[in-house]
Amino acid sequence: MLSAAMAPLIPQNSVQSTHGPSEPLAPASLMMTTSETLLGELREAGQPAAWNKFVQLYSPLLYSWLRRTGMQEADAADVLQEVFRVLVIKLPQFEYDRDKSFRSWLRVIFLNVWKNYCRQSARHAAMLANLENCVGQDDIFSETQYRQQVVAAAMELLRPEFQPQTWQAFVGHGVENRSAAEVAAELGTTVGAVYSARCRVLARMRSYLQGLID
């Protein structure tokens, strides 16, 4: 029998609904059956919330990388906007397969838009040379960096779907790599509940990012 202090860490929402209260609602007339994966949602018509989530997931990291290459704020904003303008059309057409990861697909679009932007004027041409220097093993599209950034952004996005204690258990054990016993003691719950919380969040993140990370 579990005491109240040892209550299991349950998700904030019912298990049948994976969408949190903070999620923007689609107009009722356009609401359709949703898939649990973001790519699936993006493929379906009438899912403006999916686009919102996709933008929130990718825009900060693409923008920060553009800025790190030395691009000025206004230029970075222009390039980013053009990238998403292309993506809004292309995304529903993307089909995941093992030989063509979303990461490499996105990389092609991103670099093409950037190159086109750089070709627009002589001033931008200098940025093209900079691009060549910045793209390589350590760029944002290297497998490790890409995964780290996308997962980190997804964590922020999915956090409202979970109860605070569930989230703290996941972060303490999974991200901060502290022992389950230590985290359980800190939160006043069981070791099993900490494992359960970590698995619950991981499962949600994996299904959400299916097809987006390698």
Partner 1 sequence: MQTLSPCPRTDEYQHLLAGSLVSADQQPLLLHLEQCPQCAETIQSLLDRDTMIEAVPVTPQLADDLPQGLMDRLLALDVNVEYSGLRELGPYRIRERLGQGGMGIVFLADDPLLERTVALKVMRPSLATNQSSRQRFLREARTAAKVKSDHVVTIFQSGEERGIAYVAMERLEGSTLGARLVGGEFTIAESLRIAREMALGLAAAHEQGLVHRDIKPENLMITKDGMIKILDMGLTKNVTNTADNLTGVMNTNAILGTLDYLSPEQALQNEVSAGSDIYSLGATLFMILTGHSPYDGVPASQKLMQHQFGKVPDILDYRSDAPPAFAAVLSKMMAKKISERYQSAAEVADALLPWASQDGQTAQISLPSRVMANPGYHSQTPTIREAASATASDVRISPLNPTVTVSIPKPEPVLSNGVPAHAVNRSKKKSNASQPEPIAATQPSAPESVIPSEIAPESPKAEPAAIPTRNKISAKKNTGNQTAIALIILGLAIIIGGIILLTQLV
CB of 91 to partner 1, least distance (A): 8
Single out the residue of 107, 87, 108 nearest to residue 43, CA to CA. 87
Q: Measured from the CB atom, is 105 or 195 closer to partner 1?
A: 195
Interface of this chain with partner 1, residues 72 to 111, rule: CB under 8 A: 72-74, 77, 80-81, 84-85, 88-89, 91-92
Per the CB < 8 A criterion, the answer to whether 8 and 193 are in contact is yes
CA separation for the pair 196, 183 (Å, rounded): 13
Residue list 19-48, contact with partner 1 (CB under 8 A): 27, 29-30, 36, 42, 45-48
CA dist 147 to 10, 14, 57, 60, 135, Å? 27, 29, 12, 14, 17
CA 206 – CA 145 distance, rounded (Å): 17
Q: Which of 12, 69, 148, 163 binds partner 1 (CB under 8 A)?
A: 148
CA–CA distance, 59 with 83 (Å, rounded to integer): 10
Told to check if 128 binds partner 1 by CB under 8 A, we report: no
- Identity of the residue, 74 or 133, whose beta carbon is nearer to partner 1 in the bound complex: 74
Using DSSP's 3-state secondary structure scheme, residue 150 falls into: helix
Residue from 15, 98, 132, 137 binding partner 1 (CB under 8 A): 15
Among 12, 23, 40, 55, binds partner 1 (CB under 8 A): 55
Q: Which is nearer to partner 1, 111 or 155 (CB)?
A: 155
Q: Which is nearer to partner 1, 9 or 131 (CB)?
A: 9
CB of 108 to partner 1, least distance (A): 19
Q: Give the span between the Cα atoms of 135 and 153, in whole angstroms.
A: 22
Contact 87, 59 (CB under 8 A): no
Q: Segment near partner 1 (CB under 8 A), from 67-75, 94-102, 104-112, 128-136?
A: 67-75
